[in-house]
A and B are shown apart, each in its own frame.
Chain A
Amino acid sequence: MILGFTVAQLVLACLVGLVCVIAGLAGRKPNDLTVLSVALVELLLLAQLVVAIVAPAVGNAPTGNPLEFWMYLVSALLIPPLAIVWALVERTRWSNVVLGAAAFAVAVMLWRMEQIWTVQLA
């Protein structure tokens, strides 16, 4: 993984989470802004997927357990699409909060992925 990219992605995911939760609490139904911003989080996750595939080949291999890393990445990739489907099916304010929760979950998982890739505690 590339730390700078991960941090950018993390900041975006948190920002998107905040925007979606606020929109939901303010009574807004899912709209282009909230749905597309979560789609953007997914797009960057796909870029992260490419990075994770290419990086080991150019000398940036994970120091942690690859299985653990990939389980996080694959689960993270599934979360935004599920949340978007949810928001499209159920058009209530609470779906925006769900979108926000998904974005925050992705942020936490990205941080764990970066840890697994670079920092070994044991």
Chain B
Amino acid sequence: MSAPSRPRASGIGRVLVAVYAILAIAALGRSIFQIIDRFDEAPIAFSLSAVSAVVYVLATVALAAGWDRLAWITISFELAGVLVVGTLSLAAPALLGLDDANPFGREATVWSAFGAGYLFIPLALPVLGILWLRSRARSAVDA
């Protein structure tokens, strides 16, 4: 990927990687379970949830390996996803095939209600990720 010479994530960036990894496990686990158990109930929402889970995994790998371009793409995708799907899940749940907007309900996904079922970590994490990528890019230019 881009800039192999750039050092791997260091310092506080490692914490970001770890939290991303935990979120990736959470999103992937729930998504796999919902698709096995109840895909028919909300196919659109659960498909989006599966896509988000895969993107979290990619973002984790990209951050850990220092692939900044992939990290930018995946993290921006997540921020857009949590904002768009979060808004839709509250304003127009029917559009996603959801019966209700309960972020803790059986049809809840990682992005429902801006990630309220996950302590809003899905909303906070992409912002922190972008801030961190920016500070890293800046320090790389300075060096």
| A and B physically associate | yes
Q: Which residues of A are at the interface with B, using a C-beta cutoff of 8 A?
A: 65, 67-68, 71-72, 75, 78-79, 83, 86, 90, 92, 94-95, 97-98, 101-102, 105, 108, 121-122
From A67, A72, A98, A121, B15 is in contact (CB under 8 Å) with A98
Question: Could you mark each residue 88-132 of chain B with 1 if its beta carbon is under 8 Å from any beta carbon of chain A, else 0?
Answer: 000000000000000011100000000000010000000000000
Complex Cα–Cα for A96 and B84 (A): 35
Tell me which residues across on chain A come within 8 A of B11, comparing CB atoms.
92, 94
What does the 1/0 interface line of B30-46 toward A look like (CB < 8 Å)? 00110011000000000
Q: Any chain A CB within 8 A of the CB of B69?
A: no
Least distance between B39 CB and chain A CB atoms (Å): 13
Interface hits, B37-68 → A, CB 8 Å: 37
Given A68-B37, A72-B29, A92-B11, are A101 and B22 neighbors across the interface (CB < 8 Å)? yes
Contact B36 A98 (CB under 8 A): no
B residues near A, CB below 8 A?
A: 11-12, 14-15, 18-19, 22, 25-26, 29, 32-33, 36-37, 104-106, 119
Question: Cβ of B14 and Cβ of A95 under 8 Å apart?
Answer: yes
A121→B104 contact, CB < 8 A: yes
Q: Whole-angstrom distance from the CB of A1 to the nearest CB of chain B?
A: 18
Secondary structure type dominating chain B contacts: helix
Rounded to whole angstroms, the CA-CA distance of A98 and B11 in the bound complex is 11
Cβ-closest 6 pairs across A and B: A98-B18, A105-B22, A94-B14, A97-B15, A71-B29, A94-B15
Q: Cα distance A122–B37 when bound, in Å?
A: 15
| B residues near A86, Cβ cutoff 8 Å | 18
Return the contact of A122 from the options B19, B29, B32, B106 (Cβ within 8 A).
B106
Are A67 and B22 in touch, CB under 8 angstroms?
no
Interface pair B25/A75, CB less than 8 Å apart = yes
Q: Which residues of B contact A98 (CB under 8 A)?
A: 14-15, 18
| Smallest CB gap from B32: residue in A | A71
B54, chain A: closest CB distance, angstroms: 17
A82 to B54 alpha-carbon distance, docked (Å): 20
Q: Are B105 and A121 in contact (CB under 8 A)?
A: yes
- A-chain residues with CB within 8 Å of residue B104 when the two chains form the complex: 121
